[in-house]
Structure formats: C-alpha cells, structure tokens
Amino acid sequence: MPSPLLAQRRVLAATSLSYVLVILDTSIVNVALERIADTLHTGISGLQWVVSAYTLSFASLLLSGGALGDRFGARRLYLAGLVVFTLASLLCGVSGDWMTLVAARVLQGVGAALLVPSSLALINQAFANDPAGRATAIGVWAGCGGIAMAAGPLVGGVLIELFGWRSIFLANLPLGLIAIGLSARLTASERSPRALDVRGQLSAILALATLIGVLIEGPVRGWSSTPILLAGLLSVAAWSTFIRIEIRHAQPMLPLKLFANPVFSACVAVSLISALVLYGLVFLLSLYFQRVLGYSPLWTGLAFLPLTALVSLGSLVASRLVRVWGSERLILVALLLYLAGFGPLLLYGPTTSYLWIALPMPVIGLAAGLITPAATSTLMGTVDKHRAGIAAGTLNAARQVGAALGVALFGGLLAGHIRA
C-alpha cells in the first residue's frame, strides 16, 4: 500500500500528463491548418470543423463524463478516456480525407470528455483532507495545461516542418502510452450511484452542434438561407428542451441548482468568456500569419510565443497570487488585462504588420494564464467531493463551449477578409 504522499504524487503525475495531451490538441492543430487545407482540399469552414469537432464533442459529453466518473469510479473512466483519446489520435494521423479527420477529432473529444473531469475528481479525492495541497495540485495540473497550450503552436510548427502535419497527432501515441502506464497504478476511487440523464445528454449535443453549425456555416451559406434558418430554430428548440429536462429530472446531467451559488456561476461564466476570446484569436491569427503574412508553420509557432509564453507564466504563478490576493481579485485583474490587450487589436486593419499584433499579445496571454487555475481552484472549493465530477465537468464544458464559439465567431469574421 503506497504512502499517502506517494499516492498523491502518482495521481498528480498521471493526471497532469493526460491533461497536457488534451490541451495540446486544442492548440497544436492551429499551426497545421494551412497544410491540412492543402492536403485535404477544404476551406475556412472546413478548417473550423477540424478544430471545433474536437471541442464540440468534448464540451457536449463533459457533463456525462463527470456523472459517469461519479457513478463508475473516476479511475476507471479516466483510463477509458485515455485509451479512447490515444486511439483517436492514431486515426487522426492516418486520415486520408477531411470527413475521416473530423470524425477522428470527434472521437478525440469523447476520450477527453471522459478523462478530464475524472482527473480533477482524482486530484480532489487524493487531497481531500489537505485543502492547501489540493489548491497547489490543481495549480500544477492547470499549469501543465497552460504549458501545453503555450507549447502547442511551437511544438506543432517544429513537428510539421520536420515530419508533416500528421505528426502532430501521431506524437500523442507515446505520451498516451506513458500516461496509461502511470494511471494503471492508481488506486481505485469511490463511486457515487447516479442515474444517467440520457435525454438531457442528447438534447445538449443537438443544441451545441446546431449552434456551432449555424455560426460556422452561416457566412458560407448565407444567414437567410433555408438550412441556416432551420438549424437556428432547431438550436433554440434544443436549448429550451435541455433546460426543461434539467429542471424536471430527478438527477440531471447539469444540476441547475449549482448555479444558485454566485461564485460557481461566476467561475463558469469567466472560464467560457476567457476560452472564447483566446481560442478564437489563436485560430484567426494562425490563418492570418500563414495566408496573409506568408509564414511557415514553424514561423507561425514562433510568432505566437509572446502570447503563449505568458499563458504558461500566468498558470504557474496563479496559485501563489490566489493566496496573496484572493481568487476574486485575481480574476478581476485578469479580465481587466483582457480588455487592455484586445483594445488595440480592434483598431488594426486587414494588413497589419506582425510587430503591432505582437505588442498586446503578452497582456492577453497573462490574463488567460491567470484565469484558468484561479477559477478552477475556486469552483472546486464550492462543492463536496461527491459532486466533484459534475462540477469539474461543468467548468471544463464551459471552457470547451467557449473555445468552439470562439473558433466559429472569429472564423466567420475571417472568412470575409481572406481567401477561403
């Protein structure tokens, strides 16, 4: 039987590595977009689906992933998700057409949705009697995600330059196998009997898919076209149905009572907004650097360093700043930094040089890096350990919904200014 300290370290090592894989795939693919478009013959809307297929399935299933982790045990669901994610990465790497790649990205999102809430639940369980240690562990976990997000464009640029765009997915295989090996040694986790909200899950998938579909395809097909209008009506109906089901269900996928806690609600909202602006900006700038400025994938990755390096720094220092300032004050500072960083970008034209774009990047990156661990630690402290899975799923679903919305909205703005 391992000592409590050793068990905590194993949990933190395994969950941090798997989180690196999940977050890496939200950022690394952006520098490959131009090469994917050339190989698989797709336009901006097709590239939006390559990015959003992952975040969409990730977001749609995260809430069920948390509930399944509570019901069947976080360790079991965590391992299952890790295996699915690793196999899906292999399928991405060997995809021969756009449709197969999008389907594989959906499968990656399924794996991520199973493992992420379970990883946070495992951390919460391992540090149940050590609140300070839990905050530090979550800070390390989130910091690893921040490093992965920061390293994604540069690592992707190097891999693409040396081995082609498929290597960004195939590189997940050895890391996934290492994470599986580490996870196999974790102790079994507690179970909390919980009925699955199947109707709520199906309506959530339909609501998100139609919303993102309208935002991506609207600029291409026309906002007044029949398919877009019908999809918009279907999305409104699906969202209404989802809310009605969650209110009436005895054990809802998303317990709306959680939002009665203003701290919980604020953390979810802030996480969604932060992901929307960050991932939308990364998608937009990735294509701008390659199509307008003519950068290679490697130079595109390097061009993001003023942004991504500060994301990593912010994630690493956030837990210390939370102890000094408090999470509410730190989140407020991060939001103000976002406003300061995005202000200049709104004034730029379609042929702005890289230097002017790079100037506000550090401010935006620092804001993004500070928000994630601060919001995560604060939110996890508002729920008991039996609701840890569903709380983690809600928070991470908000982030992935924000990322999908950001790619859809920013991509739609981009489509009208550069070639499809």
Q: Which helix (H) or strand (E) holds 406?
A: helix 388-415
| pLDDT for the residue 192 | 60
Q: How does DSSP classify residue 253?
A: S
Longest dimension (CA), the chain: 64
Distances from the Cα of 322 to the Cα of 61, 123, 329, angstroms: 30, 19, 8
Q: Residue 109 corresponds to which amino acid? A: G
Collect all residues with Cβ–Cβ distance below 8 Å to 181 and sequence separation of at least 6: none
Give φ, ψ of 218 to 5 degrees.
-55, -50
Looking at residue 237, its pLDDT comes to 96
Residue 103 has pLDDT above 90, yes or no: yes
| Among 106, 120, 122, CA closest to 60 | 106
pLDDT band at 389 (very low <50, low <70, confident <90, very high): low
Share of the chain above pLDDT 90, in %: 25
Report which listed range, 9-18, 222-231, 378-387, is most confident: 222-231
Least confident of 88-97, 256-265, 269-278: 256-265
Q: How far apart are alpha carbons 26 and 149 in whole angstroms?
A: 7
Considering only 74-83, 248-257, 274-283, 397-406, which range has the smallest mean pLDDT? 248-257
Whether 2 shows a pLDDT value over 60: the answer reads no
Q: What is the structure's pLDDT at 191? A: 58
Digit-coded pLDDT (tens) for 52-70? 899 889 888 887 877 787 7
Answer whether residue 238 shows pLDDT above 80.
yes
Give percent of the chain with pLDDT exceeding 70. 92
Average pLDDT of the segment spanning 326-338: 85
The answer on pLDDT for 353 being more than 70 is yes
* Cβ neighbours of residue 387 closer than 8 Å, sequence gap 6 or more: 70, 255, 258
pLDDT digits (tens, 9 = 90+) for 24-43: 888 889 899 889 999 998 88
| Alpha helix (H) residue ranges in 326-387 | 327-345, 354-358, 361-380
Q: Which has the closest alpha carbon to 253: 204, 217, 324, 185?
A: 204
SS3 content of the chain, % helix, strand, coil (to 5): 85, 0, 15
State the Cα–Cα distance between residues 85 and 173, nearest whole angstrom: 9
Q: Which of 188-197, 198-207, 258-267, 369-378 shows the lowest per-residue confidence on average (mean pLDDT)?
A: 188-197
More confident residue, 65 or 279: 279
Q: Would you say residue 420 has pLDDT above 50?
A: no
pLDDT at 387 over 80: no
79 contacts 127 by C-beta, under 8 angstroms: no
Q: Which residue has the higher pLDDT, 126 or 365?
A: 365
pLDDT at 262 (0 to 100): 84
The whole-angstrom separation of Cα 92 and Cα 131 is 40
Number of neighbours of residue 346 by Cβ within 10 angstroms: 6
> Band of the pLDDT at 312, cuts 50, 70, 90?
confident
Structure token digits, residue 218:
């609207």
Q: What is the pLDDT of residue 344?
A: 81
Q: Which of 209, 213, 212, 204 is nearest to 241 (CA)?
A: 204
Alpha-carbon distance 357 to 130, whole Å?
A: 43
Interval 122-133 mean pLDDT: 75
> What pLDDT digit, counting tens, does each position of 200-209 carry?
889 989 999 9
- Asked whether the beta carbons of 351 and 333 are under 8 A apart, the reply is no
pLDDT of amino acid 313: 83
Say if CB 263 and CB 379 are below 8 A apart: yes
Using CA atoms, how far apart are residues 207 and 362, in angstroms rounded to an integer? 35
Asked if the model's pLDDT at residue 216 lies above 90, the reply is no
Position 84 pLDDT exceeds 90:
yes
Q: Using 50, 70 and 90 to split pLDDT, how confident is the model at 331?
A: confident
Q: Which residue has the tokens 């609501």?
A: 207
Binned at pLDDT 50, 70 and 90, residue 193 comes out as low
pLDDT of residue 115: 87
* pLDDT reported for residue 98: 93
- Tell me what the mean pLDDT of segment 102-108 comes to: 95
What's the whole-number average pLDDT of the chain?
Answer: 84
Secondary structure (3-state) at 396: helix
More confident residue, 349 or 89: 89
